[in-house]
Chains A and B, each alone.
Chain A
Amino acid sequence: AQSVSQHNHHVILSEAASLELGCNYSYGGTVNLFWYVQYPGQHLQLLLKYFSGDPLVKGIKGFEAEFIKSKFSFNLRKPSVQWSDTAEYFCAVNPRGTGTASKLTFGTGTRLQVTL
């Protein structure tokens, strides 16, 4: 069975600071990788996704993530955070070959708090 680890549980940054959230997964086969964001009171929204190809993927709102296969990692980055980025961030994996995009294994989430 696959598992996902997010090492940062709660991160506090000042506006304009750079962000990097770690995500490591454990799975013997090929996976699709995702970052979802949950703003307070809102539903989970897809930030970005990686299926194949260029390991550096760009998502919405200036976020990007890099897939490093040898490290089983998919870290999320943003050069300059804004107060509106305050939210909870979830890394998730979906094994290939299951025939579905909806059998996701999530990390425990990282709560990001951006201060003015």
Chain B
Amino acid sequence: KAGVTQTPRYLIKTRGQQVTLSCSPISGHRSVSWYQQTPGQGLQFLFEYFSETQRNKGNFPGRFSGRQFSNSRSEMNVSTLELGDSALYLCASSFGGFGADHTEAFFGQGTRLTVV
């Protein structure tokens, strides 16, 4: 079956702009999480969406937001981009329903965002 698909793969944006990243989870998965990966901070959890609702949130400023659609696809938005937002943004897909504690997350290839 198809894996987690993230688009676009690469983006270059200017400081102050906003950006929207997209993630299509594995079919049947209803939970989508987003992570930021940087050389300095490693992999950091941004937020998780389940059934179109944000269920968990990490410690990122409000400039980082997301949403989930009824087909479980998710988008992440970053407004007023800063140089420090340059990173690989990863999406993770998991089952998310009852018993989800005993399942694992599957990751997409990521979107590499460069802010100049």
Interface residues in chain A, defined as those with a beta carbon under 8 Å from any beta carbon in chain B: 32, 34, 36, 42-46, 49, 51, 90, 92, 94, 96-109
Contact = CB atoms under 8 A, between A and B. Distances in A.
Contact of A104 (B45, B96, B100, B103): B45
B92 interface: yes
A90 B96 contact: no
Interface string B96-116: 100011111111111000000
A34 B103 CA distance: 11
Interface of B: 3-4, 31-33, 35, 42-45, 48, 50, 55-56, 90, 92-96, 100-110
B109 A101 contact: no
Contacts of A92: 43
Contacts of B4: 43
Given A43-B3, A101-B103, A102-B32, 4 more contacts: A92-B43, A94-B105, A101-B105, A109-B43
13 contacts: A43-B3, A44-B90, A44-B107, A51-B101, A94-B105, A100-B48, A101-B31, A101-B100, A104-B33, A104-B35, A104-B92, A106-B35, A106-B42
Given A42-B109, A90-B43, A100 B100 contact: yes
Contacts of B96: 99-102
Contacts of A42: 109
Contacts of B48: 100, 102-103
Contacts of A36: 107
